[in-house]
Each structure stands twice: as C-alpha cells, then as structure tokens.
Amino acid sequence: MIEWIHPALVFFATAALVPFVKGKGKSILLIGFPALAFFSLMLFPDGNYGVFTIGGFEVVFGRVDKLSRVFAYVFTLMGSVGMVYALHVKQKGQHIAALIYGGGALGSIFAGDLLSLFVFWEIMAFSSVFLVWYGGEKSWANGLRYLMVHTFGGLCLLGGIVIFAGQTGSIAFNAIPASGLGGWLILIGFLINAGAPPLHAWLPDAYPVGSITGTIFLSSFTTKTAVYVLARGFAGTEVLMWVGVIMALYGVVYAMLENNIRKLLAYHIISQVGFMVAGIGVGTELAINGAVAHAFAHILYKALLMMGMGSVIFMTGKRKGTELGGLYRTMPLTFGLFMVGGFSISGVPFLSGFISKSMVISGAAAAHYPFVVLLLTLAAAGTFLSTTLKLPYAVFMGEDKGIKAADPPGNMLLGMGLAAFICILLGVMPNLLYQLLPFPVDYHPYTAEHLLGSFQLLLATLLGFTLFLYKLHPENTISVDTDWVYRKGVVWFQQLKNPLQGIKVLRYKDFLQGLTLFSRQVSQRIQSGYLKHALVMIISFVMLSTLLFSLFKGWTLSLDSLMQTDLTLSQLLVFVLIISSTLATVLFKSRIAAVLSLGMTGFFVAFFYVLMGAPDLALTQYLVEAVSVILILLAFYYLPAYFEEKTAPASKMTDIAVSLLVGIVMTFYMLMVMDSHLTKSIASYYLEMSEKLAGGRNVVNVVIVDFRGFDTMFEIAVFSIAALGIFGMLKLNKKKAPIQREAALNGSLKREQIEEAVQREVTSK
C-alpha cells in the first residue's frame, strides 16, 4: 500500500530514466511524468508523510497542506509545460538537470522540517546551475558566481538552522520569529533566493545567460520556492513588506533601463517577487492569499514571457532590444502569445495577473498600509510600461531590421500556447485558483471599481508611453503622476546607473577574480618553495612556542643538576673537540671536508662513551660513523646533480638567530629534564628481569631483541625501506642506460638479449 508518492521522487525517477530513452519515449517520459506528479497531488489528503527520525531529529519529507499543495500544483504544471517547450533539446543533461531542479523545488515545498528543507534547497542550487552552464561557454563565469551566491545563502541558512535548532530544540519548519541570530540568518538565506536587493545580483547576472529552455525553469522555481518558505516561516514580518516594495520598484526601474531582452525579464522577476514578498510581509489572510495566487500566476506568465523571448533568441540569435525589431511579421504566433503574457503581468483584466496582483494590493489596502499600496501600484504601472509596451515594441514592432526569422518549432509554440491558455483560463475563471489558496477566499476581482481602476492605470501608462516615444519633449506633461515619476525617475536612475553598476561589479563579479589574485600573492609569500624558509619557520615556531608554553606554566631556570655534575679534564677535552668539529662542519665550504668533520664529531662522541664506561655503545657509534661517512662520500662522489639547489636569499642573521634559538631552547629543555625525575624508571625492571626472564645478561641487547623487539622489528624494516628507496631511485630511473637497468632488475640478461637491445638502441638513433 503506497502511503504517499512524493512528487519530487517522481521527478528524480524521471531524471534517472532519461538517459535510457529516445525519441517518442523520451517525449512521453518528459511530459508524462511531471503530469503524473501533478495528478498524484490530487490523490492524497493533507497530512504529514514520510516521517523519519535521523540523528534524534524528526525529519518530515512530505507535509501536505493547502499552502504546500498550491505551490506543488503550479510547479508540476510548470514542469510539464516547460518540458513541452524544451522537447526539441538534444542534450539530455539539460533535461536531467531541469528535472532534478524541479524535484529539489518540490522537495523544499513539502519539507516539514528545516533539515530536509536545506537538503533540497541545496539540490536545487546545484542542479539549477547546470541550466545556466548549458547556456554556453560565456555563461560559465556567471554560473560559478550564481553558485557561490547560492552556497553563501545555503550556508547562512544552515547556520541559522543550527542556531535556531539549538535554541528551540526542534527543527520543525513552522513560523520562525525574525529575531535572534538564527532567525535572521534563515531569513537572509531565504531572501537571497528570493532575489531581494542588495542580494539580488545573481539573478539578472545568471538568468539571461542560461540556456533558452533552462531559463524557463530557472525563472519558475528558485524565487517561488523562496516565496513559499517566506510565506511559511515569516508571514507577517513587517520588514518583508518594505523589502518587497523595494524589490518591486528596484526591479522595475532596472528593467526599464535594460536592453538585453532576457535581462529585462529577469529584473521583472525581482519586481514581481517583490509583490509577493510584500504580501507576505503584510501578513493578513487576504495578502498571503494574494502573494500565493500571484506566485501561481506569475510562474506561468513569466514562463510564457521567457519562452517568447527565448524563441526570439532561438530563431534570431540576437539578445538585445536595439538589435531586434519588426518581428511581428515573421513571428506572428510568438508575438501573439507573448502579448498574452505581457498583458497578464501588467494585470489586464481577464488575464491571470489581474486576479492575483490586485489581490495583493487590496490586501495591503485592507491592512491599512496606504503607502505600500501606492508604491506597488507604481511598480505595476512600470511593469506594464516596460514589459508590455517597451519590450514588445522594441522586439516585435518598431523599426524593421529585416531580420530573417520564423515562428519556432511546434513544441515551443505548444508550450507557449499551453501557458497562455492557463493564463487566460485563470483570468476568466479565477475560482479555479482561489479554491486552491491556503485561506478561504472572499474576494471578487471583477468589481466595477477594480476594473475601472486598472483600465485607468493601464491606459494612462499607455498614453504616457506613446507620448514619451513619439514626442520626445519632456515638457509634454501628462496628468498621470506615476508616469511623471517614471520619466523623471528614468533620467535620475540613468545617472545613477553607472555608479551603481560600478559598485555591483566591484562587489560581485570581480570579487572572485580578486580572491584568486589575492590567494596567489599570499600563497607565494607563504609558500616560497625554499626549503630553508620552510625549515626556519617550522623550527622557530616549534621552539618559540615550546619555550612560551613552559614559561607560562611558571618555568624557572635552575642549574642545580648542572652544578652537581663532576667534569674531569679528559671529558672536558672531548667536549671541546666535539664542539670544534661541529663548528668546522658548518664552516667548511667543501662538502667532502664537511662530511669528514661531521664524522669526526661522531668519533669524538664515541670516545666520550668510552670515557663514560660504555664500550659497546662506543663501538656501535664508531661503526655507524665509519659506514655512514663512507656512504655519504660515495653518494657525493657518484651521485649526479639531480637538482640545482634552490637557495634562498642569503641571510646569515636569520640562520644565526634560528641556530641560537634551537640551541638555547634545547639546552634549557635538557636542564629541565635533568632536574625533574618523578618516579622510579622502568629501567630498573629491565636490569632485574633481564637474566631471570629473558635469559640474557647483556641488558641492552635483551631490551633490543626481546623487551622491545617489536621496535627493532620495525627499525630493521625502516632500514630495508631506505635501501629499497635508494634502489628505486638509482635503478628504476636510469634513462641513459635502459639495458643496464633491465639487467639489474631481471637479474642478468642473456647475452643475445643484451645485444638485441643494443641493436635496437643504435637503430633507433
């Protein structure tokens, strides 16, 4: 018995199946499965599904209620429609990314806890970036920036979640108070995805360069998921109202100034999301209903607009408004469908935008925020001006640039047709949408007052546009205040635009390049590549910190143990010899002389052992020195200069300082060690037990081979490893003498083989 089918799962499953299908099967899969997810939503009643306990937290994968359901409806719907539009795309990767992206969005919608929300949130970010990257080579940098911003947002969200969960002890995702560090971090994380200024820069940066079909999905899911989570978590947070208003205006102003057709639409997303955020900020039932309805309608008409512009780019390859014009003749269907979207976004009656946008504004009005109402109305007028008038004028009407084009392939038209159909359907039958909304709706859009009001606004703007366009005389004032603000505003903003963009670029685009440059400089400073620098740093760091940490524990110098030591004349003499031969090692310029005097040091140390009454130790020391000096000399004599020594810039002072530091710290350390013996050492046990238990009178040897035989086992291993290393270095890499190398490795070769190899060498030269 299936309890519940998670629509995100359907999307993921589809993504997994895509690589294995072709042709018709692919079409059916791509359109059918999202549609299936759409209908599956109707089957199951509200409630919490998919509840797991992970790490002591209750994770809810499927919280179905009215709010999540309405977003899921539009997402799955959009998934199908977008797939229709994208059917012609050959790259399966795009389909997969879009499906995972949609799945992530659906997962976020249904997440009943913050943890799974975060997981799906990140899935969304990381799959959507591919849709940007599929826009071609030029989009890579943008995509990377997009990703970085979203990761930053994700991190804020994660940090917020952790703090919030730490405070409340629960990760359930319900209303979150916008207070305390946790709440604010979560809010910032959400707002980044919503594209709220000043955290919006990723949106107009990435969307216009994305792949034509990918942008449809991009403009549908990310920001609207953010609207959903804001509605869920921060409904009625007053600050959001103002954020929304700023977004609505900010987006629209930039849209007016923009020439790149998709960038213009991208700015419009910010503006439209601003309406929704403002509605959420108002927080009354009507306003939230309005925000949700607007999100629903917006996804569809914005997708329609994006599809329209995508088709234009697809057919002409041009992206700028000034390069286009007069396309209404060659792309009539596209033009017609685009205008449906344009009128919808402007809130023309009998189209979907009208029934939702007016709801938000009415909500603000009913909650007595007149200023918000005014500003939102202003933004609405601006939307009409830029999207519905300026953009189509530039692209489809205007001067005919004689661009050869035709309406796009059937599937693209079909996708646009479907979206347009839904826009009209919702406009005509608003109750279809209203009954889905989270709160009961007692709102009638088609009152005379509303209709009149919007017509007035639209007509006045239209009038303004025509005047503004044809009679470029600024003194031609019009009695519509919104228009006046706009025209003045445009001039004002145009002056402001450059410095603003300057700031934006500095903050955002160059930031990553700057980071790379900075890292390069810092790393080169730290990692100079000179062994000497590294050693100086390591040694002085260890020595200084050792000194400091013992000083802080109250260490004081005591010379008692030193004073108690008897020193005979012969011992003193040996000391002098040891020190002078060591000094000679350092001072000798010749390598051979240095090695020999190092050997001398060893011999004097051996002599010292003799004086102390340890002949076997002395013998060992003596032999070690003899053999190692000979080996080092051999190495010097025969080894080729494998590498030119990279010598650090000479700085004798540093060398002397480091040597002194090591000498002083180690001397003090030894004094300290000599002063402090706590308890009887285990050595006495060895002395007692050596003969009794291990059957040997030579305690040193018994310790080596028996008590600590395990150490010895590995020490001889180290010895062998060293030999193997040198063996490898010398035998495996003699490029000049391949025959000899082979001979050495395989034992001795047959005479014929050697001759053959020599022959080969000769002929190859």
* Contacts (CB under 8 A) with other proteins, residues 84-123: 93, 118-119, 122-123
For other proteins, give the closer residue by CB, 459 or 506: 506
Of 294, 272, 301, 270, the closest CA to residue 207 belongs to 270
Q: Which of residues 245-274 bind other proteins (CB under 8 A)?
A: none
Which residues within the stretch 684-743 sit at the binding site for other proteins (CB under 8 A)?
685-686, 689, 694-698, 700-702, 704-733, 741
Query: Measured on CA atoms in the order 558, 559, 565, 571, is the torsion positive or negative?
Result: positive
Q: With respect to other proteins, which residue has the nearer C-beta, 411 or 582?
A: 582
CB of 221 to other proteins, least distance (A): 18
510: Cα separation from own chain's centroid? 17
User: Which residue, 470 or 642, is less far from other proteins as judged by CB?
Assistant: 642
Give the shortest CB-381-to-other proteins separation in angstroms: 40
Give the residue, chosen from 28, 406, 624, 758, that forms a contact with other proteins under the rule CB under 8 A: 624
Would you list the DSSP string of 710-753? HHHHHHHHHHHHHHHHHHHHHHTT-SS-HHHHHHHHTSSPPHHH
Measured from the CB atom, the residue of 429 and 729 that comes closer to other proteins is 729
Beta carbon of residue 731, minimum distance to other proteins (angstroms, whole number): 7
CB of 166 to other proteins, least distance (A): 6
Residues 204-233 that bind other proteins (CB under 8 A): none
Residue in 553, 589, 750, 765 binding other proteins, rule: CB under 8 A: 553
Q: Locate tokens 């993921």: which residue?
A: 12
Nearer to other proteins, 368 or 731 (CB): 731
The answer to whether the beta carbons of residues 374 and 382 sit under 8 Å apart is: no
Least Å distance, CB 584 to other proteins, is 21
Rounded to a whole number of angstroms, the minimum distance from the CB of residue 549 to other proteins is 5
* 3-state helix, strand and coil shares in percent for the chain, rounded to the nearest 5: 75, 5, 20
CA distance 457 to 434: 25
- Tell me whether the omega of the peptide bond preceding residue 499 falls within 30 degrees of 0, making it cis: no
Tell which positions 491-550 bind other proteins, by CB under 8 A: 512, 515-516, 518-520, 522-524, 526-527, 529, 531, 534-535, 537-539, 541-542, 545-547, 549-550
> Phi-psi bin for 350: left (phi > 0), alpha (psi -120 to 50), beta?
left
Give the single-character DSSP code of 49. E
Minimum Å gap between C-beta 634 and other proteins is: 4
The one-letter code for the residue type at 165 is A
36 alpha-carbon distance from chain centroid: 33
- Between 107 and 363, name the residue whose CB sits nearer to other proteins: 107
Q: In whole angstroms, how far apart are CA 84 and each of 140, 414, 418, 647, 725?
A: 26, 7, 9, 66, 64
Question: Given the complex with other proteins, which of 170 and 447 has the nearer CB atom?
Answer: 170
Phi-psi region of 88 (alpha: psi -120 to 50; beta: other; left: phi over 0): alpha
Scan residues 441-470 and list those touching other proteins (CB under 8 A): none
β-strand partners of 62 = 49
Tell the smallest beta-carbon distance from residue 612 to other proteins (Å): 14
Q: Nearest distance from residue 715's CB to other proteins, in Å?
A: 6
562: contact with other proteins by CB under 8 A: no
Q: Which is nearer to other proteins, 490 or 705 (CB)?
A: 705
The full DSSP string for 541-581 is HHHHHHHHHHHHTT-----HHHHH----HHHHHHHHHHHHH
Q: How far is the CB of 480 from other proteins (least distance, A)?
A: 47
Nearer to other proteins, 446 or 555 (CB): 555
**CB distance 25 to 5 below 8 Å:** no
Measured from the CB atom, is 516 or 759 closer to other proteins? 516
Nearer to other proteins, 589 or 692 (CB): 692
CB of 260: closest distance to other proteins in angstroms?
23
Residue reference for tokens 């229709």: 84
**Amino acid symbol at 347:** G
Greatest extent of the chain over all pairs of C-alpha atoms, in Å: 119
Q: Are strands 47-54 and 57-64 parallel, antiparallel or unpaired?
A: antiparallel
Which of 255, 344, 264 lies closest to 306 in space, CA to CA? 264
Which of positions 644-683 make contact with other proteins (CB under 8 A)? 646, 666, 669, 672-674, 676-683
Residue 427, judged by CB atoms within 10 A of its CB (0-12, 13-18, 19+), counts as: buried
Residue 420: C-alpha distances to residues 74, 241, 252, 266, 329 (Å): 14, 30, 23, 19, 20
Of 401 and 708, which has the nearer Cβ to other proteins?
708
- List alpha helices for 111-259, DSSP H: 114-133, 140-168, 180-194, 202-206, 212-233, 238-257
Nearer to other proteins, 455 or 727 (CB): 727
Q: What DSSP designation does 137 have? A: G
- Choosing from 634, 656, 664, 687, the residue that interacts with other proteins (CB under 8 A) is 634
Interface with other proteins in residues 278-297 (CB under 8 A): none
Q: Which of residues 324-353 bind other proteins (CB under 8 A)?
A: none
Stretch that binds other proteins, among 188-196, 206-214, 337-345, 629-637 (CB under 8 A): 629-637
Q: Which of the 8 DSSP states describes residue 56?
A: T
Q: Which of residues 31-70 bind other proteins (CB under 8 A)?
A: 54-55
Nearest-approach distance from CB 721 to other proteins, in angstroms: 4
Interface with other proteins, residue 20, by CB under 8 A = no
Is 744 a residue that touches other proteins (CB under 8 A)?
yes
Comparison of 571 and 628: residue with beta carbon closer to other proteins: 628
> Of the two residues 32 and 159, which places its CB atom closer to other proteins in the complex?
159
The minimum distance between CB 60 and other proteins, in angstroms, equals 16
State in angstroms the smallest separation of the CB of 286 from other proteins. Answer: 37
Interface map 417-436 toward other proteins (x if CB under 8 A): --------------------
Which positions from 116 through 175 interact with other proteins, judged by CB under 8 A?
A: 118-119, 122-123, 126, 133, 137, 140, 143-144, 147-148, 151-152, 155, 158-159, 162-163, 166
Q: What is the distance between the terminal CA atoms of the chain, rounded to a whole angstrom? A: 77
**Residues contacting residue 184 through CB under 8 Å, at least 6 positions apart:** 160, 178
Number of residues that bind other proteins (CB under 8 A): 131
Question: Closer to other proteins at the Cβ: 155 or 469?
Answer: 155
Binding mask 581-620 toward other proteins (x if CB under 8 A, else -) reads: ----------------------------------xx--xx
* 8 A C-beta contact, residue 274 and residue 300: no
We find the least distance from the C-beta atom of residue 536 to other proteins, in angstroms, to be 10
